[in-house]
Amino acid sequence: MRARLLVLPLLALLLAGDPARAVEPLVADLSKHLVAITTGFAGTDVLLFGAIEEMDGDKAGDVVVVVRGPNKAETLRRKDRTAGIWINSGNAKVDNAPSFYQVASTRPLEEVAPTAILDRHQIGLDHLDLDIRVKDQGSDLGEYRKALFRLNQTKGLYGDKVLEIGMLSQRLFRTDVHFPANVPVGIYMVEVYLMSAGQVISAQTTPLVVSKIGIGADVFDFAHHQAAAYGILAILLAAAAGWLAAIAFKKS
Amino acid sequence: MQIYLPIAEMSVNVFVILGLGGGVGFMSGLFGVGGGFLMTPLLIFLGVPPTVAVGTEANQIVASSVSGVLAHWRRGNVDVRMGLILTAGGFVGSTLGVYLFRWLRGLGQIDLVISLCYIIFLGIVGSLRLVESIQALLASRRQAAGGAAIPVRKKHQHSWMHGLPLKMRFRRSQLYISAIVPAIIGLFVGILAAIMGVGGGFIMVPAMIYLLGMPTAVVVGTSLFQIIFVTANATFLQSTMNHTVDVVLALLLLLGGVVGAQIGARFGVKLKGEQLRSLLALMVLGVCAKLLVDMISVPNELFGLGGGGKH
């Protein structure tokens, strides 16, 4: 949400600063605005596409896309050897780790914008502003930060690298963002930046909803909102299944 | 074919889960054990969160024990009175176990405790069984060669147990002992069952034979009888306190398990009892060794996510 709050005044400024410009310098959209986790869900791709306006006949600039899942609190634990076995010995709490984070860009990020700009908009893992509180004698914040990224990358929730954005005739761009089967639910923000000469020329934010749909969603809601009934039903279901099995296979 | 598990929040291949249920069901039919001690570690290995594996396995064991106990019930091999005393202890034990589980999860040590419980109890039970079945195999060979028969264990040995109050008569088991002993056994096994995601038969059965002195004919039926209630209690508590019972996963495992158990039982008839027992002991020790190696060897990843910080 913070990114969006930053973006809106920025857009307003841009529009106010150049009233003569009729066309938007940047338009972008998604192939779908809902990722539905159904019973058969095994991950999906969302296509992000758009166009940038040529500026004074020059190459318009670079496009950078950030897909960010809702923030959540995470606990990281580190194992250490105690009496010959590996035991969780230290931990760190992160309050605002994005549950999903992918960046795509037309060129490497460091060539597109200076660190200050990347930091301000939190573009790229190295530029995320994370609040990590470490309780561990044997490790430090840097290690935990790296571990958070590595673990989420292993799960496919953080990008291993900055994805490439394909350009068509200097104006049209497209990129595929993959959402794995274990993608967390919530409202995602897809931020598209148009950069030129190390500055953000234009930006646009589109929400993307990731939600459980169908029987799976009903089961989840039931289990969480009527836990006692769910528990009893689970027991009855199991008992009935066991009884049926015994009858079906009874030796006559 | 992929299916999304709503509580585990992951996508799995239906046939892998059916196969897993079938395979473990085959083992349980073959050896006459519950199979929870195989299933829970395998589910964790597949990537199911340990908390969900333990909660769901409790649910599945309700089904397999109901289906198992019926045959014993028909033959009159269930000591209901003994079963109810064990269940009373088991209820308290599994409740304590679920609370303990939650507390350890908050501390971030639940995985360690699950592994340690498996290593310790599978190690002990597996070793004892292996030694016993090797002795029996040797003895039967000696007997076949015309040697002396194995000494029969005395049935009514008197020990400290017989001095305890609250004595009760258990007709089916032909016992007159204090109700405190089975209640405590039930309590202890209940705690383990809740933490390890097993029925606890592999500890309960030897405890009934060696500690209580119950006749072997009623041991399995009575153990299954009390497992139904203890795992039902664990299922209920895991559902309400931790939200970690995945019915979709449980049903899939069940489906495979039912078929596997029938095939296994038919195979079991063809093998000799002693061979079966030593095979089972080896398998139990195998699981134990695998977990021990995992615990001692340097992990690929020293860091882990989750546990306590959720929601």
Q: Is the pLDDT of residue B233 over 70?
A: yes
Q: What average pLDDT does the segment A56-65 reach?
A: 76
Distance CA A214, CA A200 (A): 41
Distance CA B302, CA A77 (A): 8
Amino acid identity of A1? Answer: M
Contacts of B240 in chain A (CB under 8 A): 227-228, 231
Model confidence, pTM? 0.81
Q: What average pLDDT does the segment B203-211 reach?
A: 87
With vertex at residue B118, the alpha carbon angle to CA B178 and CA B114, rounded to the nearest 5 degrees, is 100
Could A79 and B299 be called an inter-chain contact, meaning their C-beta atoms sit closer than 8 Å? Answer: yes
Query: Is pLDDT larger for residue A14 or for residue B280?
Result: B280
What's residue B89's pLDDT? 95
Q: Which range (A242-246, B20-24, B68-72, B143-147) has the least confidence?
A: B143-147
Which residue in B4, B239, B301 is closest to A231 by CB distance? B239
Query: How would you class A233 by CB atoms within 10 Å of its CB: exposed for 0-12, middle for 13-18, buried for 19 or more?
Result: middle
Average pLDDT, chain A: 86
Distance CA B306, CA B311 (A): 10
Q: What is the number of other CB atoms lying within 10 angstroms of the CB of residue A96?
A: 14
Q: Is the pLDDT of residue B15 over 90?
A: yes
Q: What average pLDDT does the segment A198-208 reach?
A: 91
Q: Is the pLDDT of residue A23 over 80?
A: no
Which residue in B62, B68, B71 is closest to A239 by CB distance? B62
What's residue A84's pLDDT? 86
Query: Is pLDDT larger for residue B242 or for residue A250?
Result: B242
B220 three-state secondary structure: helix
Distance CA B163, CA A213 (A): 62
Q: Contact, B185 vs B210, CB < 8 A?
A: no
Q: Which range (A17-21, A186-190, B176-180, B281-285) has the least confidence?
A: A17-21
Helix (H) or strand (E) holding A76: strand A71-82
What's residue A61's pLDDT? 84
What's residue B175's pLDDT? 80
Task: Read off the tokens for B296.
Answer: 């001692």
Q: What average pLDDT does the segment B91-99 reach?
A: 94
Long-range contacts from B167-172, C-beta under 8 angstroms, 24+ separation: B168/B81, B168/B85, B170/B79, B170/B81, B170/B82, B170/B214, B171/B79, B171/B81, B172/B76, B172/B78, B172/B79, B172/B80, B172/B81, B172/B82, B172/B218, B172/B222
Task: Read off the tokens for B199.
Answer: 């029925």
Domain boundaries, chain B: 2-144+163-296
Place of tokens 């930046």: A193
Q: Is the pLDDT of residue B10 over 60?
A: yes
Which residue in A41, A87, A232 is closest to B4 by CB distance? A41
Query: Is pLDDT larger for residue B135 or for residue A210?
Result: A210
Contacts of A79 in chain B (CB under 8 A): 299, 302-304
What's residue B310's pLDDT? 39
Query: Is pLDDT larger for residue B109 or for residue A187?
Result: A187
Q: What average pLDDT does the segment B129-139 reach?
A: 83
Give which of A35, A88, A157 to mutate to test B binding, by max B Cβ within 10 Å.
A88
- Report the phi/psi class of residue A159: left, alpha or beta, with left for phi > 0 and alpha for psi in -120 to 50: beta
pLDDT over 70 percentage in chain B: 92
What's residue A19's pLDDT? 46
Q: What average pLDDT does the segment B234-252 reach?
A: 93
What's residue A186's pLDDT? 93
**DSSP per position, A157-216:** SB-SSPEE-EEETTTEEEEEEEE-TTPPPEEEEEEEEEEETTEEEEEEEEEEEEEE-SHH
pLDDT band, very low/low/confident/very high, at B157 (cuts 50, 70, 90)? low
Q: Distance (Å) from the C-alpha of residue A148 to the closest C-alpha of chain B?
A: 8
Q: What average pLDDT does the segment A90-106 reach?
A: 92
Could B238 and A231 be called an inter-chain contact, meaning their C-beta atoms sit closer than 8 Å? Answer: yes
Place of tokens 């039982």: B265
Pairing state of beta strands A172-179 and A166-168? antiparallel
Distances (CA, A) of B117 to B29, B61, B111, B228, B290: 24, 19, 10, 21, 13
Q: How big is chain B by its Cα radius of gyration, in Å?
A: 20
b/e A173-202 (16+ beta carbons within 10 angstroms → b): bbbebebebbbbbeebbbbbbbbbeeebbb
Q: Is the pLDDT of residue A172 over 70?
A: yes
What's residue B11's pLDDT? 87
What's residue A15's pLDDT? 47
Task: Read off the tokens for B99.
Answer: 């609370």
With vertex at residue B310, the alpha carbon angle to CA B307 and CA B311, rounded to the nearest 5 degrees, is 165
H helices of chain B, in order, are 14-31, 36-46, 50-74, 80-107, 110-144, 180-196, 201-206, 216-237, 247-270, 273-296
Q: What is the ipTM of this complex?
A: 0.84
Q: What average pLDDT does the segment B113-130 reach?
A: 88
Could A84 and B240 be called an inter-chain contact, meaning their C-beta atoms sit closer than 8 Å? Answer: no
pLDDT band, very low/low/confident/very high, at B271 (cuts 50, 70, 90)? confident
What's residue B202's pLDDT? 84
Which residue in A75, A243, A246 is closest to B308 by CB distance? A75
What's residue A20's pLDDT? 46
pLDDT band, very low/low/confident/very high, at B50 (cuts 50, 70, 90)? confident
Nearest CA in chain A to B311: A73
All structural domains of chain A, each given as residue ranges with its CATH number in brackets, are 2-213 (2.60.40.1930), 214-252 (no CATH)
A120 three-state secondary structure: helix
